[in-house]
Amino acid sequence: MSDRSDTVNRYPFSIPYGWFAVCEPDDLTVGATKALYYFGTHLVAWRDEHGAAHVMDAFCPHLGAHLGHGGTVSGCEIVCPFHGWQFDAEGSNTNIPYSDRTNGRARIRTYPTIERNGFTMVWYHPEEQPPRWEVADVAEVTSGDFSGPKRTSHTVKAAIQEMAENSVDSAHFRYVHHTAEVPEIERYETDGHVAEMRSSQKFPTPRGVVDGRIDTTSLGPGLGTVRFSGIIDTLLVTASTPIDAETTQVRFSFYVRSLGDASTTSSVGEAFAAEVDKQFGEDTPIWEHKAHLVRPALADTDGPFMKFRKWYSQFYVEPVSDERTVFPPPYWPDKMDESPAKATASARHGQS
């Protein structure tokens, strides 16, 4: 699904299904509404008087007002700013203030919503099928042994799958990120919605090379953890959300195993976040300008790209298109002169 009607599809795949972060719990205060846009869809999020978060389609079925712009919350229902119609958390019309009857056909699509691991997440499925898995707890987030999160956020003009493929691409570290060592993938295994990669990495330090590890777990297309160990244990929780089929927002939460001294822990966290964000900024122009090749020409020592793609393909309702083998970006006159430095500057940083 593309919103460009004048050209062919940017990618051979559409928006995957899964659990995706749409905001952070602090973004939603009790009784407030918030306008959102993900999955190529205008949405409204709101928090009821019991503290539960809800996400639903934005437009009131009466005459189309956006419930996230002026909508209010009354108890456990949302009230339209235009003519005061009221809807419950299931999206049913419960009150029309100037009529004795409700409208049974006036329903709003709702999305299963949970708050876990520091994110407000919704289950998105293009055909509105119910959740196929639960979102697992990331132990370190609540353990008390780790400090954080420090948060950042980036928006990239690339499909969510295209960016996720970076996780199996060990060779690019040397060329894009100029790291002295590249991670060595020991194991890449998939099981249902979970994909796990175990890799070892040598970290050069002033006192010599330290053996470390980078272990990545993907919990469906929307949530992942990257655990770095060797020098200092750090955890990166990644939440990737399709804004539409060719635009993705990535939220990072950084955690550091507490070092006893709060200011040292926090400066390690800052440095960790800065390095990951720098690398993300280096990847961004590659993602935005690259073609998606259905049949890439791989080296025998490349990472498990095709295994990754096969795992990822389970999250699409429509089969991945094979009508073409090359899916280039559109011609973007405004992007022709963009330098990597400029692209990096477009990354938006959240607050710690």
Q: Is the CA virtual torsion 317, 197, 225, 285 positive or negative? A: negative
Smallest gap from Cβ 86 to ligand FES, in A, equals 9
Q: Which stretch binds Fe ion (CB under 5 A): 89-97, 186-194, 277-285, 332-340?
A: 277-285
User: Which listed option, Fe ion, ligand FES, none, makes contact with residue 165 (CB within 5 to 8 Å by class)?
Assistant: none
What is the rounded distance in angstroms from the CA atom of residue 211 to the CA atom of residue 254? Answer: 21
User: Which listed option, Fe ion, ligand FES, none, makes contact with residue 82 (CB within 5 to 8 Å by class)?
Assistant: ligand FES
What is the rounded distance in angstroms from the CA atom of residue 273 to the CA atom of residue 51? Answer: 31
- Residue number with CB closer to Fe ion (165 or 283): 283
Smallest gap from Cβ 281 to Fe ion, in A, equals 10
Q: Is the CA virtual torsion 130, 306, 273, 266 positive or negative? A: positive
259: exposed, middle or buried (Cβ count in 10 Å: 0-12, 13-18, 19+): middle
* Interacting residue ranges for ligand FES, rule: CB under 6 A: 60, 62-65, 80, 82-85
Smallest gap from Cβ 38 to ligand FES, in A, equals 22
Smallest gap from Cβ 58 to ligand FES, in A, equals 11
What is the rounded distance in angstroms from the CA atom of residue 34 to the CA atom of residue 53? Answer: 11
Smallest gap from Cβ 33 to ligand FES, in A, equals 13
- Residue number with CB closer to Fe ion (86 or 216): 216
283 binds Fe ion (CB under 5 A): yes
Smallest gap from Cβ 80 to ligand FES, in A, equals 3
**Bridge pairing between strands 194-205 and 208-219:** antiparallel
What is the rounded distance in angstroms from the CA atom of residue 341 to the CA atom of residue 152? Answer: 18
User: Which listed option, Fe ion, ligand FES, none, makes contact with residue 122 (CB within 5 to 8 Å by class)?
Assistant: none
Task: Give the count of beta carbons closer than 10 Å to the beta carbon of residue 149.
Answer: 24
User: Which listed option, Fe ion, ligand FES, none, makes contact with residue 63 (CB within 5 to 8 Å by class)?
Assistant: ligand FES
Q: Which stretch binds Fe ion (CB under 5 A): 156-164, 197-205, 265-273, 276-284?
A: 276-284
User: Which listed option, ligand FES, Fe ion, none, makes contact with residue 83 (CB within 5 to 8 Å by class)?
Assistant: ligand FES
User: Which listed option, ligand FES, Fe ion, none, makes contact with residue 78 (CB within 5 to 8 Å by class)?
Assistant: none
Smallest gap from Cβ 79 to ligand FES, in A, equals 8
User: Which listed option, ligand FES, Fe ion, none, makes contact with residue 283 (CB within 5 to 8 Å by class)?
Assistant: Fe ion
Q: Which of residues 118-177 bind Fe ion (CB under 5 A)?
A: 166
Query: Which SS3 state, helix, strand or coil, does residue 186 take?
Result: strand
Which of 268, 244, 241 is closest to 252 using CA atoms? Answer: 241
* Pair 140, 255: CB distance under 8 Å: yes
36 has which bridge partners?
43
Stretch (H or E) spanning 268:
helix 262-289
Which of 125, 128, 124 is closest to 107 using CA atoms? Answer: 128
277 binds Fe ion (CB under 5 A): no
The residues that touch Fe ion, with contacts defined as CB under 5 A, are 166, 283
